[in-house]
Amino acid sequence: MKKLAILLFLGAFIAACGSGGSESSTTASDNSTPAETPKTESGNPSYDPQRGEGKFTKVEIGEALDIAMAAEGEKVYGVKCSSCHKLTSEKLVGPGWTGVTERHSAEWIMNFSTNTDAMLDKDPKAQAQLEICLVRMPNQNLSDDDARHLYEFMRKNDGVK
């Protein structure tokens, strides 16, 4: 019980650190933005929690698996993802990938994997996951193609043929 309380406390702490981090990173890219005006994200009607925040608004997904894309995605997985994500449902550092394409839309996954910090700071599902894992997912600087290929590999992992 005590442990849980500590974990929850830590979670809150990390989340708080998180928004601080994003503020400083926006400051870093645009030094003219004043650092002392934190934005309130809650209740922002323009935010679509299904899509997440990022450049992907509508991703075309075929019925059948694109085998070539999935194979590319598997390579990216081996270098940039497998340290923390298993292909089963088992949590390692981050959640296992089984069923991930059923839990999130393609747009959400691709936005989260390419615009990680911004989404960790505002997306309810990402924040809930952070409270469980306690490690902010690193931005691994995936290219747009990398993200798409990974998504296809996730589909393959979820049984799409």
Partner 1 sequence: MKNFKLLTVAAFAFSMLLGFSACKPKNAGSAISSDAASKAYVAPGKYDEFYNFVSGGFSGQLSTYGLPSGRLLRVIPVFSVDPEKGWGYSEETKPMLNTSHGFVPWDDLHHVQNSKTNGDYDGKWVFVNANNTPRVARIDLKTFRTAEIIELPNSGGNHSSPFITENTEYVVAGTRFSIPPDDKNGDVPINTYKQNFKGTISFISVQKDNGKMELSFQLQCPGFNFDLSRAGKGVSNGWFFFSTYNTEQAHTLLEVNASQKDKDFIMAINWKKAEEYLKSGKGRKQAVKYAHNVYSDETHSATSTIKTEVTVLDVKDFADIAYFFPCPKSPHGCDVSPTGEYIVGSGKLAAVIPVFSFDKMVKAIAAKDFIGNFDGIPILKYESVLHGEVKKPGLGPLHTEFDDKGNAYTSMFVSSEVVKWSVKDLKVLDRVPTYYSVGHLAVAGGDTKKPYGKYMVAYNKITKDRYLPTGPELSQSAQLYDISGDKMQLILDFPTIGEPHYAQIVAADLIKNNSTKFFKMEENKNPFFANGEKETKVVREGNKVHVYMTAIRSHLTPDNIEGIRMGDEVYFHVTNLEQDWDVPHGFAIKGANNGELLIMPGETQTLKWTPDKVGMFPMYCTDFCSALHQEMSGYVRVSPAGSNTPLLFSTGKNYAASDTAKKK
**136 sits near partner 1 (criterion: CB under 8 A):** yes
Of 79, 70, 49, 52, nearest in space to 141 by CA:
79
Q: Rounded distance, CA 157 to CA 151, Å?
A: 10
Q: Rounded distance, CA 161 to CA 156, Å?
A: 7
Which 67-106 positions form the footprint of partner 1 (CB under 8 A)?
78-80, 82-84, 86, 90, 92-93
**Smallest distance, partner 1 to C-beta of residue 56, A:** 19
**Smallest distance, partner 1 to C-beta of residue 138, A:** 5
Token reading at 42: 């809650």
**134 sits near partner 1 (criterion: CB under 8 A):** yes
Q: How many residues bind partner 1 (CB under 8 A)?
A: 25
Decide whether 15 or 59 has the Cβ nearer to partner 1. 15
Decide whether 62 or 78 has the Cβ nearer to partner 1. 78
Q: Rounded distance, CA 20 to CA 34, Å?
A: 13
Q: Rounded distance, CA 124 to CA 140, Å?
A: 21
**Smallest distance, partner 1 to C-beta of residue 20, A:** 10
Decide whether 35 or 62 has the Cβ nearer to partner 1. 35
Q: Is 80 exposed, middle or buried (0-12, 13-18, 19+ CB in 10 A)?
A: middle
Site residues for partner 1 per CB under 8 A: 10, 14, 23-24, 27, 31, 35-36, 78-80, 82-84, 86, 90, 92-93, 134-136, 138-141
